[in-house]
Chains A and B, each alone.
Chain A
């Protein structure tokens, strides 16, 4: 009996949807994971050449360098407005924004709320890492109570600085929303679930069913001043209790979908 060897099976390789560029993100930053998931989903859905991304201001300001699709770069917080402009004149394209918590939940609060309110047929990938990364670790609208940042050095005092804003819960109340979920990037199993959510969000847009958003709990090892691994643990131990994972609004048609 002879054996016949065939070529090795490639279990995983870098998606075509990512450019062949070294990213500027700090080691262990989960922005890279969410970029990769978007790229994988667009590749799998065959949408890469139809997609126009809208980059935010913040750490992911250079998202357009890493995602292998057409991209525009918005002003701080205005990505949903810019995406609206693009989608309304090019409804045949897939349009999504990629926004951090400062961008989406602070300066861009009006734009995100009204995009959802209008049921704008766009997809939003919302990165919540509870801090302003690019400017060096200031308090974000999503910073946890008691969490130390450079602008809340003694920890976020809710008497002075209020409470974290829970965007998914808020956006789920908008009639124009069709798919609003929160997932996490702190563990491989959760990352797989995040990818499914991103897929469903884009499926929502493909079906013309209105506003879709995936909130991804993410890390910022550098500004949290912990190792990348400790940062993942912080998400699990401290962030998830404040920002519970789950489906906040899922249109029945999308719920039926197997991805």
Chain B
């Protein structure tokens, strides 16, 4: 099972420049054409499952708009 991750894009900062889209190694980001940020941009969003939380989108993002999360590995707890 690949690691499961996700991103949150902050509307205050995102300018829809698409650099995260071009950088994403698993091609799971697109612009959200259904809405605009307060500054009038279509912000980036996850378009499908498959994000691994690798953080490359955050590295290329010129506006530090992306927070990247990864689901922790499930810890096995011995049953009593």
**Residues on A close to B: CB < 8 A?**
1-15, 18, 20, 22-23, 25-33, 35-36, 39, 187-188, 191-192, 221, 227-229, 232
Q: Is the CB of B72 within 8 A of A7?
A: yes
* Chain A residues near B41 (CB-CB < 8 A): 27
Please report the total number of B residues contacting A with Cβ < 8 Å.
38
17 contacts between A and B (CB under 8 A): A9-B69, A10-B67, A11-B55, A12-B55, A13-B67, A14-B13, A25-B62, A32-B63, A33-B62, A36-B61, A36-B62, A187-B60, A188-B23, A188-B59, A221-B17, A228-B19, A229-B19
* Chain A residues near B74 (CB-CB < 8 A): 3-5
Q: Is the CB of A8 within 8 A of B71?
A: yes
Q: Is the CB of B15 within 8 A of A11?
A: no
**Residues on B close to A: CB < 8 A?**
5, 10, 12-13, 15-19, 22-23, 39, 41, 53-56, 58-72, 74-79
- Complex CA gap A35/B64 in Å reads 9
- Chief secondary structure at chain B's binding surface: loop
Report the 7 A-B pairs with minimum CB-CB distance, sorted nearest first: A32-B62, A28-B17, A27-B15, A27-B17, A12-B58, A11-B68, A12-B68
Q: A188-B60, A229-B19 are in contact. Are A4 and B77 (CB under 8 A)?
A: yes
Expressed in whole angstroms, the minimum distance between the Cβ of B1 and any Cβ of chain A is: 13
* Chain B residues near A20 (CB-CB < 8 A): 12
* Chain B residues near A22 (CB-CB < 8 A): 12-13, 39, 63
Q: Is the CB of B18 within 8 A of A227?
A: yes
Q: A3-B76, A228-B17 are in contact. Are A191 and B71 (CB under 8 A)?
A: no
